[in-house]
Amino acid sequence: MIEQKAVNIDIRRVVPSPEDRSYAEWFTWAKRGGAPVSACHAAAQAAFHALSSGKDVSVAAQMAAAAMASPPLPVDTGRQTYCAWFALANIDLNFDQPHAHAFATAAVHALDAGADAKGAHAAGLEAAGIK
């Protein structure tokens, strides 16, 4: 019998990764146009794939727009949550990208620490420099 090592099933990744940040920007690009959430994820996935394949931003935008009619691949909860907070900050609160990323990062970290949505929102505002 071969002894197997125990695997920690509670492995968590740090959110946001640089990929999460880029993905959220493309998600918000689609959301700003009024697309439903599933189309926003499909657009972000297509743009992300195009850019990681060496395509330029204009080609990524074309691919993102075309992909909005297709269902997205599954998206992990951390990335979905980050996208939602980033879109809220960038679209609804009209924060520029650096402040929207600061807001979303703080909100996600607050949620991970046990805060409710109101507490996460407050943490995001503080991180974005809004008191």
* Tens digit of each residue's pLDDT (9 = 90 or more) over 8-42: 444 455 779 999 999 999 999 999 999 999 999 99
Task: Determine, yes or no, domain membership for 62.
Answer: yes
pLDDT of residue 13: 59
What distances in angstroms separate CA 9 from CA 79, 88, 97, one per listed residue? 19, 31, 34
Structural domain of residue 79, as residue ranges?
18-29+36-127
- Count of structural domains, the chain: 1
Task: Determine, yes or no, domain membership for 11.
Answer: no
pLDDT of residue 9: 45
pLDDT digits (tens, 9 = 90+) for 67-97: 999 999 999 999 999 999 999 999 999 999 9
Task: Determine, yes or no, domain membership for 97.
Answer: yes
pLDDT of residue 1: 56
Counting runs of H as helices and runs of E as strands, what totals does the chain give?
6, 0
pLDDT of residue 78: 92
CB count in 10 Å sphere of residue 23:
22
Task: Determine, yes or no, domain membership for 107.
Answer: yes
Task: Determine, yes or no, domain membership for 2.
Answer: no
Task: Determine, yes or no, domain membership for 68.
Answer: yes
For tokens 């503080």, what's the residue?
Answer: 126
Task: Determine, yes or no, domain membership for 5.
Answer: no
Task: Determine, yes or no, domain membership for 110.
Answer: yes
